[in-house]
Amino acid sequence: MPLRCTLPLPAALTPPQAAAVLRRHGAIVVLESGRPSAAHGERTVVAGAPLAEFEVRGSTAALHARRVRATGSAAGEPRWPGSAELATAATPFHALERCVQALPDGAAFGWFGYELGAPPAIARLDPWPDAWFLLTDVAVEWERPSAAPRLACGDPRLAATLQEELAAAAATGTASPAGARPPPAAADASPFRREDLDLARYGERFALARAALAAGESYQLCYTYPLERPLPAECITALWERLRRDHPAPFSAFVATDERALVSCSPERFVRVGPDRRVEARPMKGTAPRPPDAAQRALVAQALRDSEKVLAENLMIADLLRNDLGRVCRLGSVRASQPALVEEHATLLQVVSVIEGELAAGRTTADLLASAFPPGSMTGAPKVRAVELLRELEAEPRGPYSGVLGWWADDGSCDWSVVIRTALCAGGRARVSVGGGLVWDSTAAAEWEESRAKAAPLLAALAAIERATPAGGTADGGARP
């Protein structure tokens, strides 16, 4: 990530401590490799103190200035595009690209929601905009878990203030109450509730989806549904800290503003673009619970590899991504370099295909996002018709869920995760949506159970927060999201 990290920070500083400091200066985005690897990366970034915030609502993209650099800052003030210039951009991706290019010493951090670009008449999930990003030159970065953090900041005066505040936070060595490991839950405790979607009601939607498959309208449909739990705003930080500790994921994320927060444990990369314009996508389809025993895990992994249904489901979406990338990549460069890998995550085994390519001359990151969004793993195939069918099948809009989250720098480099295994927190509620790809030989019972396996870790964390929160009290000392 091309942010200039020039100021050293204490090795003892933790991402939650850095997040708490930067939260005093506005909205924050935390991107963390909770399961570091060569494939997924090792860096953790806490970005904040935004110079501006970009958001899209319906067909309107807007940029809101938030901070002015001190006089004498080497980079000077960004020359942001005006509202008229944003309005003429081909897509919201191109509108944000113009904003990113106005900030050569920083980057954009945030998310594009699933309904981005949908017709205005399509319902949206309140209070979430279609896209939201902070643009900043301020970030605390760990290149790898064992590395000491460094501070990037384009404003020398603010840099001195932040360096002092971050050093003080590291010196306290205090942890929030969320850091204390709670007693183990009863072995038979379930995070699910009677009001959650049961198998009978799921089966009704499944039958409608299967009818569309039978009619040849789609080959695969990623049907999803939401589960909700109470979560006071003052407990959101505790939820994030609990999940990063108990359920680490390759693309963990925490986004907090005054109005809402997003806590993600995503295992799936959408697309990554390097400074060399090389593109990588890692669509994920095929899931099984991860046994604690290594021998049993090997058996489950082999069963996934041997499953004709799983392979067909995964390769169908891999082909869709190859088509999406092929529209904007150099002719002949797109290939499935590693089809149907089995990856191990905290609680699940997942089947992933790696698709690679290279952006064609004259094509930009915005062109790639416009071609590949929304993620095919969250729609089904063919994508356009699948999206239409899902709007009829699903009772509510998805919001940020099923969209993408990550960072974007002015040289076009970027990295995006798919927003799954995520809690959307607003208005005293947490919304956890789950689903899976339905194909002709799917069964309602198996797909329902798979969706519950995906939801269980987040719902268990929310249940633990609820148990630990006294009536009228907080679980994390009252820190705002």
268 is known as an active-site residue: yes
Question: Do 351 and 340 meet the contact criterion of CB atoms below 8 Å apart?
Answer: yes
pLDDT score recorded for residue 5: 63
CA dist list (Å): 323 to 106, 118, 272, 334: 32, 21, 16, 9
Backbone φ and ψ for 268, nearest 5 degrees, come out as: -115, 125
Which of the residues 55, 241, 285, 356 is marked catalytic?
Answer: 285
Angle formed at CA 354 by CA 330 and CA 253, multiple of 5 degrees: 105
Which tokens belong to 247?
């359920």
pLDDT in tens, the chain (481 residues): 556 668 999 999 999 999 999 999 999 999 999 888 878 888 999 999 999 999 999 989 999 999 998 766 666 789 999 999 999 999 999 999 999 999 988 999 999 999 999 999 999 999 999 999 999 999 999 998 889 999 999 999 999 999 999 999 999 875 444 444 444 444 457 899 999 999 999 999 999 999 999 999 999 999 999 999 999 999 999 999 999 999 999 999 999 999 999 999 999 999 999 999 999 999 998 888 999 999 999 999 999 999 988 888 888 999 999 999 999 999 999 999 999 899 988 888 999 999 999 999 999 999 999 999 999 999 999 999 999 999 999 989 999 999 999 999 999 999 999 999 999 999 999 999 999 999 999 999 999 999 999 999 999 999 999 998 876 556 544 445 6
Angle formed at CA 196 by CA 421 and CA 290, multiple of 5 degrees: 40
Q: Look at residue 46 and give its three-state secondary structure.
A: strand
Q: Please state the pTM of the whole predicted model.
A: 0.94
d(CA 145, CA 142): 7
Q: Which residues contact residue 209 at a Cβ distance below 8 angstroms, ignoring those fewer than 6 apart?
A: 221, 223, 389, 393, 438
Nearest Cα to 396, choosing from 206, 128, 157? 128
Question: Do 481 and 425 meet the contact criterion of CB atoms below 8 Å apart?
Answer: yes
pLDDT score recorded for residue 244: 94
Which of the residues 32, 97, 115, 268 is marked catalytic?
Answer: 268
CA dist list (Å): 370 to 40, 249, 365, 411: 23, 26, 9, 18
259 is known as an active-site residue: no
pLDDT score recorded for residue 179: 41
Which amino acid type is present at position 298? Answer: A
8 bridge partner residues: 150
